[in-house]
Amino acid sequence: MHKAGGGLSRGYRGTQIFSTVGATKDQGEPNHCGETGGASVWYAYQPQANGLLILDTEGSDFYTVLAVYTGPGTDFASLVPVACDTSSGSLSKACKTVFRVTRSTVYYIAVDGVGGASGTAQLNYNLGVTPVITEQPITQTVTAGGSVTLSATASGVPAPLYQWYFGSNPIPGATNTTLTVAGFQSANQGNYKVVASNFADSTASAPATLLLDYPLRLDSFTISSDACSMRLIGRRGGNYLIQCSIDLVIWSPLATNTVPYGIWGFVDTNVNHFSSCYYRAVSQ
C-alpha cells in the first residue's frame, strides 16, 4: 500500500495534493466502491469534534475513486466501510462523500483511479460542527409603543448564519444575532426564536416571549393537589407583591419580588391551608 502525507491529518478544513503515479494496489486491499482500481494512496484523518465531514477530490486531473473506512487499521480485513464515491461515467473527475464523524475516531481514506488511472490528486476535507446556542434570547415585557432588542449567539464551524422567527414564520431580513422590534403593540406579542445554521445542521434557540407590560396581571394559572402556579406580568424592574384572600376583603401577603424583565413565575405551596383562595398582584 503506497502511503502519502506521512502522518495523521487533523483540523477543520484542508487540502492534500499528491501524485498517484507509480502507486499500486496491495495484496488483500479491497475494491474501493466496487471499483478494481490499482493505484491507491491512503490518508488518515482524525476529527477534532463530532460533526459532518465533506470529502471530495475536486481539482484532480484523472477520474478518481474515493473510499472511507474505520477500524483498527492493522490490516485490510479490519477496515469497516463508511462512505465511498466514484467519478466513473460522470463529466466530472471528482468524487464527493458527506458523512457524520465522531471526535478522535481515525478515518482511513483511500484515493484510487477508475480503471487504475493515476495522476495528480487533490483531496479536500471540510468538517462542519453543528451550531450550539450559547446565549439565549430573554422573555420580557415591553411598553406599548416602545422598542425591544432580543439577542442570541451560537458557536459552530463554520460560523453559523441566523434567522429570526415570530411564531413559526421567518421574519424577512432578520438575519443578525440581534432582533429589534420597534413600536411594540399587542400584535407583536408572542414567541420569538432564532435558528442558527451551517452546512452541518441547524439549532433553534429557546423561545423568548414578548408581552405588553400593562396592565399589571396574573395569568397562566396551573393548579395541582399541593400547589398553584401563576405568572405575573408587569413593568421591567418593577417591585411587586402577590397577595391571597379567602373573602376578597382581607388580603395576606405571599411574596414580594423585583422583576428585572417584567415576568415572574410564582408557585404557592400553601393551597392546602384554604378551601379556596383569590390572588392579586400589587405594584409597590
Same domain, 26 and 66: yes
CA distance 145 to 147: 7
The identity of residue 263, as a single letter, is I
Pick the last residue of a domain from 188, 212, 236. Answer: 212
Pick the last residue of a domain from 129, 160, 188. Answer: 129
Cell 476535507 sits on residue = 125
Among 247, 204, 206, 255, smallest CA distance to 229 is for 255
Q: Which three cell numbers stand for residue 149?
A: 432588542
**What's 274's domain CATH number?**
2.60.40
Contact 137, 259 (CB under 8 A): no
Residues of the chain with pLDDT under 70: 1-7, 88-91, 273
Q: Which three cell numbers stand for residue 107?
A: 478515518
- pLDDT tens-place string over residues 218-245: 999 998 888 999 999 999 999 999 999 9
Quick one: pLDDT at residue 284?
92
The pTM assigned to this predicted structure is 0.87
Same domain, 201 and 274: no
Among 166, 217, 205, 163, smallest CA distance to 187 is for 166
Q: Which residues, listed in sequence order, are joined to residue 141 by a DSSP beta bridge?
A: 211
Residue ranges making up the domain that contains 114: 2-129
Count: domains in the chain: 3
**What's 196's domain CATH number?**
2.60.40.10
List, edge to edge, every strand of the sheet that includes 41-45: 2-9, 41-45, 107-113, 64-70, 80-86
User: Which stretches does DSSP call E strand in 105-262?
Assistant: 107-113, 120-135, 140-142, 148-151, 153-157, 161-166, 169-170, 178-181, 190-197, 202-204, 208-212, 217-223, 228-233, 238-245, 252-259
Pick the last residue of a domain from 83, 101, 129. Answer: 129
Quick one: pLDDT at residue 73?
83
Quick one: pLDDT at residue 46?
96
Same domain, 93 and 194: no
Same domain, 123 and 7: yes
Quick one: pLDDT at residue 88?
58
Quick one: pLDDT at residue 225?
83
Contact 65, 31 (CB under 8 A): no
Quick one: pLDDT at residue 3?
47
Quick one: pLDDT at residue 91?
61
Same domain, 54 and 140: no
